[in-house]
Amino acid sequence: MLWGVPDRHVVPRAARRVVGPRIGFACLALMAACSPQSAADAVLRQAAGSVVQPIVEGWMQPAQAEGVTRCLLDAAQPDELRALAQDVGTMGGTRPRAGVLTLGSRPAARACIGAAGLPQIPGAL
């Protein structure tokens, strides 16, 4: 008996030798799929989204703004995402608003917004 657990619940050594390496290999494969770069990109996208969404909510309902924000972030280049992410906590402003209008005028963003049945951004040509 080990810590009050009857011996019949203890995993036999032979099973531990087979299962242990398989679990370790599965964990290693999962960790390899999550690279530091993809994690950094996800954080950058989330930070940029926290700047873009409140600006877009000024033009439409929050539920619509969420979909439009997703389309804008998909159309953005990495350097544009970095520029938007730098404005976290600035409550709008001229530079982030201009960036959102620029993204909203891109054909890819306009197509994504239209395909989702969402309203286009006013002022984005």
Q: What is the pTM of this model?
A: 0.69
Would 20 be classed as within a structural domain?
yes
User: What is the pLDDT at residue 31?
Assistant: 56
| pLDDT tens profile 13-34 | 544 444 444 555 555 455 555 6
Quick check: is 122 in a domain?
no
Q: Is 50's pLDDT higher than 50? A: yes
Q: What is the CA radius of gyration of the chain?
A: 24
12 and 64 housed in the same domain: no
pLDDT of 51 reads 92
Question: Which residue is listed with tokens 């709008």?
Answer: 92
CB 35 within 8 A of CB 19: no
40: three-class secondary structure by DSSP: helix
- Residue 18 is predicted with a pLDDT of 44
* Statement to judge: residues 75 and 106 lie in one domain: yes
Q: Do 62 and 98 belong together in one domain?
A: yes
What domain count does the chain have? 2
Q: Which pLDDT belongs to residue 20?
A: 46
